[in-house]
Structure 1
Amino acid sequence: MPRNLLQLPTTLAYARGGYSVALDLGSQECRVNVLLDTGSSTLAVAAQGYAPERDTALTATAYAQQISYGGGRLAGPVLRSRIGLGDRDQHRGLDDVAFACVQGTPPTFFRDADGICGLAFRRLDAAHDLSAPLAAQGRDPAVTWPWPFADSDAAALHDLFEQQPRVELEPLFTALQSHNVFADCFALQIGRAVVHITDAAATTRQLEGDPLNRGVLVLGGGEECQSLYDGAFADLRVLHDVYYNVNLLSLQVGDDAAIPAPALAAEYQAGAVSNAIIDTGSSFLMLEATLYDAVIAAFRARDPRLAELVARFEQAFADGQGLPNSAIDPADWPTLHLRLEAPDGSETCLRCEPDDYWPRNGFYAGQRVFLLLRQIAGWANQSVLGLPLLCGRYCVFDRRDGGTGRIRLAKARAD
């Protein structure tokens, strides 16, 4: 493999609903598994998975972060230390990388992962300079490590942070690019959307050994790794350098008429930018509310039992269960066709198969889970195109043209 490329194994075994990769953090090279998330930009590691007091490469700062996700919130000091990737002759490292050390209970979506690695653009990696309130407390030096705040007072912490100057940090992948470790491109080979479990008592190591739970992260390129994909690429236009914003044109259920995707409402345009994003940190295909309702209506028109099964699943999932594998016959369910804008203004059509939005042995042994989700309350009228749409694909996030770049998708090559 060329020196400017690095191919790393990823797994669903830790985060369960997303792929993680192993990093080495600090002077002690603490091995941490972090969720790969194109819907955020912050590198954050739980304090339980890392011992900053033993890290001789650590530098404390006056900065702190409090980041909200669709599935929770984290807060902690911004530290700087050494990050390593890869093993032996493939090892790459970078000093003085900024990351948040999560204080208190980590977000539930971490599950067995140690943290999260955001792969979006730098404007999402915001921190606040707390020099003034720290100095007022008499802290000398005025730094946020050790953490000087009560873990339980998240609302008061948020208010305090918002009153302090906002600063942009350099996300890990951006730092690797700016220091010429890698070109400004990465790729992900994705199999399933959620962890495959056939034994409820399986250990994380056993889940790692399941081929269905494996993926690949390529740093510094994409198309060069021809062993990871088959056939030609289909391209998506990226509209903005914050999230990986795309333009969803329509959604078609089976061979029904296409349903136009609503434009993003005016009140959300400044922050959300477009009517859809590509988000590898989402286990679900979250559809804008009217699109989701139209899909369920199309299921019902096809066979009323399909909508009834969705309702049954929602009740079961609220209690931490799916539906028995035998309750769902993929042959009864239609393929979803999502059409998105290509860089040249044409359409790129991506298929989402029933086995991708109703995966077998997903999260729970012997059960299927339904991975279509209605737009959550308080969210912009924006679809979050998560892992179900990317199943079985090799996805290249190419930012090398100096602008917003493009996303390239090909069929992932099976082992």
Structure 2
Amino acid sequence: MTRALHLPITLAHAKGAYTVRLALGSERRSGNFVLDTGSSTLAVLPHVYDPTEDSSHAPTSWAQEVSYGAGRWAGPVLNAQVHFEALPMQDQAHCVQLDAAPFSLVQATAQDLHGADGLFGLAYTGLNKAHDMQAYLSERGIEPPLTWPWPFDREDENLADFETLIEQQPRVAVTPLFTALANAGRVENRFALLLRRPLVHVEDDSADPALLVADPRNQGVLVLGGSARQDGDHAHSLHEGDFDEIQLVDDLYYNVDLIALQVGDAPRIQPPPLSAADQRRGGSDAFLDTGCSFVILENSLYDAVLAAFDAFDPRLRATAERFQQAFAQHQQGIANADVDALDWPDLHVWLRAPGGGETRLSCTHEHYWPRNAMQAGQAYFLLMRQLPRWPAQSILGLPLLAEKYSVFDRSECRDGDCGRVRVAKARGADAAWSN
């Protein structure tokens, strides 16, 4: 077993999410894949992988159609080699190859991945469903009855119809890539992320991808495996101070129990009770999602946070609303100086700890209002209202995890215990932070 794989990650490609570089197939074609704890599928865009050039690939009769908070895609499930290439500190023995790893090759999409080549879903198996199309294909004379080459319409507007079709076929579970890696005994069943910012840092709008990658504020580390406390395997160089622990309460997502929010030193704000229907749909009242650039708050919590801003300084709410108007109209932020002119309080998030205690994670204004974000001189407000048609649930995205080293430990998931997340300060956080 490899003790730990340390993989460099960056904001430079997807801009609002971190990507890791993976190589696929016998030809080892590389792509940049969004690290997403809010999903479970390894989804690959066709420009980075061609099964006809890969002697390791094996088609199946399975197909997937996956919907996210925004966008959806569909494609066949294939099996092929996936290669994990470690940081230079490790020798070639630590560059791991996983044979016959399952993934989806996107053939129809209504989602823009913003410069990434696919998604690396890090969540559990329950989110990674597919449907076996064998009987359907055989009835239509497609032999062998496989989903590659893709035998369906590729047009985006037909994805809703395709979802209806495949939901009528037998449902099957696809093993997520990290789960397959752990099940194969290549690493321990835990991973960790060192994250710096929620959005790409841009000092010069003419900067090419190489310059964005070289900016340390756009860099991070993914550690696959490692020891339970992440004190060995070079992880001591990635964090400092003690770990705080968060109890995972469901394995639909990385579900947590959100106890309260607090704006600065104002009174704590409690979330409303979760209905039975939303409990079934969402697993709990909040989850940790590295594929989300925002902290998305349940509607009443969002309103209460904005009201607390108002009480702190009425200009805070007005500035946030001005950003939202600018973003809705032009997909742009507002001037750094407009945000810097105001005194913004920290946002504190209280979560259930193992044993029934509480753990507080704090999100500073530098992270819910990152400066030089996406474009030079612009700031983005990254608190957001609950998504339409979503459970009454908060999605705790990158702003809350910025400048932290977070260990997602799934090694003790048994007897109703879904594991825990351990969070410490990222080493070098104070020196690394700059607008």
Normalised to the residue count of structure 2, the TM-score between the two structures is 0.93
1:168 to 173, 177, 183: 173
SS in 2 for 1:299: helix
1:214 to 196, 206, 219: 219
1:306 to 307, 311, 316: 316
| RMSD, matched Cα | 1.3
Give the total of aligned pairs: 413
Unaligned stretches of 5+ in structure 1?
A: none
2:422 to 396, 399, 408: 408
Match of 1:315 in 2: 325
**CA distance in 1: counterparts of 2:238 and 2:342, whole angstroms:** 28
**CA distance in 2: counterparts of 1:280 and 1:123, whole angstroms:** 18
Kindly state the Cα deviation for residue 52 of structure 1 after the two structures are TM-superposed: 1.6
The yes-or-no answer on 1:100 pairing with 2:104 is yes
Match of 2:274 in 1: 264
Equivalences for residues 154-193 of structure 1 within 5 A: 154-193=159-198
Kindly state the Cα deviation for residue 223 of structure 1 after the two structures are TM-superposed: 3.5
2:246 to 198, 219, 236: 236
Kindly state the Cα deviation for residue 3 of structure 1 after the two structures are TM-superposed: 3.5
Residue type at the aligned position of 1:339: W
Paired residues of 2:125 and 2:175 also in contact (CA < 8 A): yes
Give the % identical residues. 48
SS in 1 for 2:108: coil
Of 300-309 and 123-132, the range deviating more from structure 2: 300-309
Kindly state the Cα deviation for residue 263 of structure 1 after the two structures are TM-superposed: 2.4
The yes-or-no answer on 1:202 pairing with 2:207 is yes
Residue type at the aligned position of 1:228: L
Residue type at the aligned position of 1:392: E
Residue type at the aligned position of 1:142: P
Match of 1:138 in 2: 141
**CA distance in 1: counterparts of 2:182 and 2:379, whole angstroms:** 40
Match of 2:307 in 1: 297
Match of 2:46 in 1: 47
Of 405-414 and 2-11, the range deviating more from structure 2: 2-11
Match of 2:24 in 1: 25
Kindly state the Cα deviation for residue 106 of structure 1 after the two structures are TM-superposed: 6.3
Paired residues of 1:397 and 1:406 also in contact (CA < 8 A): yes
Note the alpha carbon deviations across 1:121-158, whole angstroms, 9 max, x for none. Answer: 11111000001111122111000011111122111101
The 1:402–1:267 alpha-carbon spacing in structure 2 relative to 1, beyond 3 Å, is closer
Residue type at the aligned position of 1:18: A
**CA distance in 2: counterparts of 1:184 and 1:89, whole angstroms:** 19
Kindly state the Cα deviation for residue 271 of structure 1 after the two structures are TM-superposed: 2.3
**CA distance in 1: counterparts of 2:240 and 2:54, whole angstroms:** 43
**CA distance in 2: counterparts of 1:342 and 1:330, whole angstroms:** 36
Paired residues of 2:74 and 2:107 also in contact (CA < 8 A): yes
SS in 2 for 1:295: helix
The 1:331–1:307 alpha-carbon spacing in structure 2 relative to 1, beyond 3 Å, is closer
2:293 to 283, 289, 292: 283
Paired residues of 1:263 and 1:274 also in contact (CA < 8 A): no
**CA distance in 2: counterparts of 1:379 and 1:105, whole angstroms:** 21
Note the alpha carbon deviations across 1:316-351, whole angstroms, 9 max, x for none. Answer: 111111001111027511111111100111110111
Paired residues of 1:118 and 1:171 also in contact (CA < 8 A): yes
The yes-or-no answer on 1:10 pairing with 2:13 is no
SS in 1 for 2:355: coil
Residue type at the aligned position of 2:368: Y
Residue type at the aligned position of 2:297: L
Paired residues of 1:330 and 1:355 also in contact (CA < 8 A): no
Paired residues of 1:65 and 1:126 also in contact (CA < 8 A): yes
